[in-house]
Amino acid sequence: MQRTFFESDHEAYRHTVREFLAREVEPHYERWEDDRLVDRSAWLAAGKSGIVGLAVPERFGGSGVSDYRFRCITAEEIARTGTTSFGSGISLQDDVALPYIIDLGTDEQQRRWLPRMAAGDLIGAIAMTEPGTGSDLQGIKTSAVRDGDHWVLNGQKTFITNGIHSDVVIVVVRTDPDAGSRGFSLLVVERDMPGFSRGRKLHKVGLAAQDTAELAFEDVRVPDANLLGTEGKGFVHLMEHLPLERISIAVAAIAAARAAYEWTREYVFERKAFGKPVGDLQNTRFVLAEMLTEIEVTQSHIDQCVLALNAGELTAVDAAKAKWWASELQKRVVDRCVQLHGGYGFMMEYPIGRAFVDSRVQTLYGGTTEVMKEIIGRDIAARPA
């Protein structure tokens, strides 16, 4: 099926991304995976090449690009090269942290943070999850109490993407314990604030080079100037921005599924068993046919979701549908591709082996598959009386 989703400008940008990855990422990626940390120099290179901070307005040093198809190009090229740990950090910056500052930040906040984020010199993170609170965001216990023109912040966060490198962390805090969902706010904690510390760099099943960490806040005095958005509307701000985060996961998922399929399609016609290429066995052809069909059908749907996002029409429910379906498809496709690789599929020097461990988190972060189904189910149940 001919895909007509991209235009000439997008394909020109693909060339830029592909050259950047070949020059700045692929030669170093094995070392980063072994070190369990991407070099900060890669972020600076990404800033210079326009790979990060696309949506930052031009007056703050960005490209001012709101067309999410450009981010789709980056996701596809990262999946093609199997450099998923690098892509995860970049996605967190562009699809999660930056939109909060662009949409909610005051002019002073934007002037302070956006130019350096667009340059790759300032790395962002968002701290939602806590040791006892995952997808249930209303269970957050991290709190902040006003003291003059500051907030005194206490609590712990975990599983924080970019947790080690981050220079600015958007922290979801409870500012009014008696206000229910209207008692949350967003505070931006900066790297050197006293009382802010990083725990261990978490040792994950996959995404080895992506720096995921625990964060601790002990009587951190956060100036009122670092309140992001409106006090008490933190939960509303989260709900407004979660569709973008979730569609970004769906885009990465379908890109990864297609990359795994392409590696496998090539491999099975090179590898021989019983005197002929594995790809000439009927079962192999059936598996390839099933995967390609599922990928193309899902790709068509994700493309429509991206166009809806561009038009400002992507709903939280539709984002949830795309996120759970595409991420579960990614897991199924990668698992079948490992099987078709045989024993070599279990070797980390083959990209499919790394794709196998990297894929597992996709149905967990950004809201688990079960939470996505609950969001959809509630919408179904809210039928007119």
Nearest to 13 by CA among 90, 67, 61, 59: 67
Are 294 and 329 a contacting pair, CB within 8 Å? yes
245 carries an active-site annotation: yes
On the 0-12 / 13-18 / 19+ scale of CB atoms within 10 A, 173 is buried
Contacts of 200 (CB under 8 A, 6+ apart): 213, 214
- CA-CA distance, 246 to 96, in Å (whole number)? 10
Four-CA torsion 43, 51, 93, 231, nearest 10 degrees: 120
Residue 137 carries which side chain, given as an amino acid letter? L
- Among 24, 33, 214, 245, the one annotated catalytic: 245
Handedness of CA 107, 109, 110, 115 (dihedral sign): positive
Q: How far is the CA of 103 from the CAs of 112, 134, 249, in angstroms? A: 15, 25, 20
Q: Catalytic amino acids?
A: 245
